[in-house]
Amino acid sequence: MEDQVDLIVSARWVVPVEPANTVLEQHAVAVRAGRIVTVGPTEEMLRRHAAARHVALDDHVLIPGLINLHGHSAMSLMRGIADDLPLMRWLQEAIWPNEARHVSPAFVRDGTLLAAAEMLSGGITTCNEMYFYPDEAASAFDEAGMRAVVGIAVLEFPTPYASNADEYFCKGLAARDRWLGHSHIRFALAPHAPYTVGDESFGRIVTLAGELDCPVHMHIHETAQEIADSLKQYGARPLARLAGLGVLGSNLIGVHAVHLDSSDLDLLVRHGCSIAHCPTSNMKLASGIAPVARLIEAGLQVGLGTDGAASNNRIDLFQEMRQAALLAKVSTLDATAIPAHVALRMATLDAARALGLDQITGSIRAGKHADLCAVSLDALDTHPCFDPVSHLIYVAGREHVTHVWVDGELRVENRSLLFKNNNDELKGLSALWQTKLQC
């Protein structure tokens, strides 16, 4: 007797990510009520299941939806506003002054919508977000049909969003309460960085993270200057200070982690922290090269992030996978560092584990939600193909993504974004803010 399902997606290759290093040829994925029912050979699946819809992707590789482990989505509206500057000049002379003048609920909603469209078009189905006005960010992700972990931003200095740390906490926690129980939206605590958050606020973060059982998402050790300033102010490197405050733990997602010595690595390993590696942003801001191969060898969970479009300037995990693999090789002089399967795992399952979402997404496995991305390898620039996973990392780009599903619902079909706002409307939003930012 045939088993009724909502959807079967068959592909030339299915790369489930777990088990590791697996490529399944001529396989299909069956989906019912948004979850993966089973994965098996296409002919067998079509015999076993009666599907309301069958999507046959004869020249594609089907992978889990990609997970952006660190983003500032609303900053898509500041793409290219201050290029070719080092981090602190970039922040102090361009980003923070523009945010002070222009950041608002409308700015965050519009910028996040624009970023969500870019992410979905490139196969990203989940974003770990850090910015202001979390209510508006959550609303935009919800409208786009994406999965998101939205950060409760904490800083000590005033912005248009909040005047002090107390107000950041109050507003962020109220936003979290309004989205409790939502199927796609979760929250994290997001202190900006050790150099912008005080000891008392970190104490509150430790307490709240324990009470709410949520991740802590924070920039760490991004530049050498950050380390020098911390030693001068606190007599300790930032990670040592955070360890003393009780911030380090298995719920911490440390972003960048570029400048690490052996004591820093030891602390990260001892506390089971995760890392969001943002290779393109680190290169563009000349922050340095994170020792990712060492982090992975030490057993740390390392995912990939795009950072914001103001410092990248793309929200493109295909680019990040390629950059992560190549940077690891050239920085270690080891061509075996970060092989293709590992780079793909960093953008999927490892990021899901860092967020505590690995029972929901990050791999193609029965029982998980059907967050899927189909990549066409039929174009001239992808031929010949000896190894589809190698092609995903070293050949293909987001322009080869043709279909994207979140919870079994199509978000991209035949390269067309199934979005409430069409491309012209999104471009109009961008143009409106470009005019305002230039004033």
Q: For the segment 147-162, what is each residue's pLDDT rounded down to a tens digit? A: 999 999 999 999 999 9
Under CATH, which number does the domain 3-64+368-407 receive? 2.30.40.10
Q: How many residues does the chain have?
A: 439
Tokens representing 9? 């997606």
Under CATH, which number does the domain 66-355 receive? 3.20.20.140
Tokens representing 328? 């690891």
From the number of C-beta atoms within 10 Å of its C-beta (0-12, 13-18, 19+), residue 141 rates as buried
Tokens representing 85? 């500057």
Rounded distance, CA 364 to CA 204, Å? 37
Do 150 and 214 form a contact (C-beta atoms < 8 A)? no
Rounded distance, CA 41 to CA 417, Å? 29
| Under-70 pLDDT residues of the chain | 1-2, 439
Looking at the chain, the domain(s) classified CATH 2.30.40.10 span 3-64+368-407
Q: Is the pTM of this model over 0.95?
A: yes
- The whole-number pLDDT of residue 439 equals 60
Looking at the chain, the domain(s) classified CATH 3.20.20.140 span 66-355
- Virtual CA dihedral for 55, 359, 187, 202, nearest 10 degrees? -150
Parallel/antiparallel/unpaired status of strands 24-32 and 372-376: unpaired
- Virtual CA dihedral for 75, 81, 87, 92, nearest 10 degrees? -90
Do 344 and 15 form a contact (C-beta atoms < 8 A)? yes
From the list 436, 439, 406, 425, the residue with the least C-alpha distance to 7 is 406
